[in-house]
Amino acid sequence: MRQVEKKVILEKNQFLLSVLCFLVVAGLLADLSCGNARYRLNEESAALSMKSIRSAERKFFTTDGKGRYGTLGELGIAGLIDSKLATGIKDGYQFEIRVEGASFKATAIPVEYDRTGSWSFYMNESGVLRGTSRSGNSANSQDPPVRYQ
């Protein structure tokens, strides 16, 4: 091979290697941003699910519950929440409702802290949604209210 042909082949290989490196870096960045988007979507979904629980509890209290609030299972059987939420696991979050007399406490925590979400949520019969980052622990009545309820 002549020197000129070798130089052209070398330049083509360098160009292809540059393109390949660019594609790898772009793919990594896209994966990171998609992961971050999924993370945020999980948190938004959890907040919306808590709002669904709020509406379902109000309806259950005045109808099927006859003056008491319902568990996730009871709200699901009554058709007041979707079947996935009724299982207690939805979109990277674990939901729980504790019924105590004429009150309830609903919580949502990330299934895997800092991978499926970072915020934990809390709500009771007052209907105020509260939440903050709790390192995977449950939120409580002392946490700040979530804006845009």
- Residues 64-113 have pLDDT tens digits of 898 999 999 999 999 999 999 999 999 999 999 999 988 999 999 999 99
The encoded tokens of residue 111 equal 């299934």
Under 8 Å between Cβ of 120 and 109: yes
pTM: 0.76
Decide if pLDDT at 130 tops 60.
yes
7-40 per-position pLDDT tens digit: 545 455 455 455 444 444 445 444 445 556 777 8
d(CA 50, CA 109): 11
| Whether residue 123 has pLDDT greater than 90 | yes
pLDDT value at residue 20: 45
